[in-house]
Amino acid sequence: MKKIILITGGQRSGKSTHAEALALSLSDRPIYLATARVWDDEFRERVAMHQARRGPQWTNVEENLQLSRVDVQGRVVLIDCLTLWATNWFFDLNPGDNPSAAERKAHVERTLQALQEEFDRFTAQEATFIFVTNELGMGGVSENAVQRSFTDLLGWFNQYVAARADEVILMVSGLPVVIKGK
């Protein structure tokens, strides 16, 4: 039976730790689907920290764009995270240097549509999906147009995923707050 769980919250709110514990409570051999591209040494350290926390029971898979390429049929899969996955699409579909406001808006719309279509292809499989994402829009409004565009994109994509999720959990200071389901 297919199930979609979305775990959201701010940075360092405990999202990944909670998602990993949930996946292990549902399966002795969950899949960890990493969407990150490692772009600097500091981020490489973060990835290493996450990997060290997981044990040998995990099947680790890396895919940063086409999640539907990964066969998760009948499995529990933790996708960490939608924020990095959306970042990959956002920059791969780059509108070029110094886009106008209209070009930025069209870029966000194209990227959102691509994410939604790939999400739907991926979640068409019969599996338990645990998605981790960030709530970027809870802070102030950025002075940077690219950051504002990405915050809009991720906010709309999070809404799309949450509408399709069976459960939505907001992590606050390491504590899970059930928003939808259970």
- Give tens-digit pLDDT for 103-135: 999 999 999 999 999 999 999 999 999 999 999
List the alpha helices (DSSP H) in 70-100: 82-92
Is 107 among the residues known to form the active site?
Answer: no
Report angle CA 96, 97, 103 to the nearest 5 degrees: 60
Cβ proximity of 120 and 67 under 8 Å: no
Average pLDDT over residues 167-173: 96
pLDDT of residue 54: 77
Q: Does residue 87 have a pLDDT over 90?
A: yes
pLDDT grade for 146, boundaries at 50, 70 and 90: confident
Burial degree of 110 (CB within 10 A; 0-12, 13-18, 19+): middle
pLDDT of residue 90: 96
Among residues 3, 50, 54, 180, which one is catalytic?
Answer: 50
pLDDT of residue 8: 97
Phi and psi torsions of 123, nearest 5°: -80, 5
Q: Provide the residue ranges of all domains of the chain, joining segments of one domain with +.
A: 3-173
User: Fold for domain 3-173?
Assistant: Rossmann fold (3.40.50)
- Give tens-digit pLDDT for 38-84: 878 887 887 777 777 777 899 999 899 999 999 999 999 999 999 99
pLDDT of residue 37: 81
Burial degree of 156 (CB within 10 A; 0-12, 13-18, 19+): middle
How far apart, in whole angstroms, are the C-alpha atoms of residue 51 and residue 45?
Answer: 10
pLDDT of residue 97: 85
